Amino acid sequence: GENVEQHPSTLSVQEGDSAVIKCTYSDSASNYFPWYKQELGKRPQLIIDIRSNVGEKKDQRIAVTLNKTAKHFSLHITETQPEDSAVYFCAVWGNQAGTALIFGKGTTLSVSS
Partner 1 sequence: KAGVTQTPRYLIKTRGQQVTLSCSPISGHRSVSWYQQTPGQGLQFLFEYFSETQRNKGNFPGRFSGRQFSNSRSEMNVSTLELGDSALYLCASSPRSRNTEAFFGQGTRLTVV
The answer to whether residue 19 forms part of the interface with partner 1 (CB under 8 A) is no
List C-alpha distances in Å: 1 to 11, 31, 38, 101: 28, 14, 25, 11
The answer to whether residue 89 forms part of the interface with partner 1 (CB under 8 A) is yes
| Identity of the residue, 19 or 48, whose beta carbon is nearer to partner 1 in the bound complex | 48
- The site for partner 1, by CB under 8 A, has a size of 26
The answer to whether residue 44 forms part of the interface with partner 1 (CB under 8 A) is yes
At closest approach, how far in Å is the CB of 30 from partner 1? 9
Among 19, 64, 86, 102, binds partner 1 (CB under 8 A): 102
Tell me the residue type at 100: A
Judged on CB neighbours under 10 Å (0-12, 13-18, 19+), 99 is middle
Please state, in angstroms and rounded to a whole number, the distance separating the CA atoms of residues 63 and 72.
14
Q: How many residues does the chain have?
A: 113
The answer to whether residue 70 forms part of the interface with partner 1 (CB under 8 A) is no
Q: What residues line the site for partner 1 (CB under 8 A)?
A: 6, 31-32, 34, 42-46, 49, 51, 89, 91, 93-95, 97-106
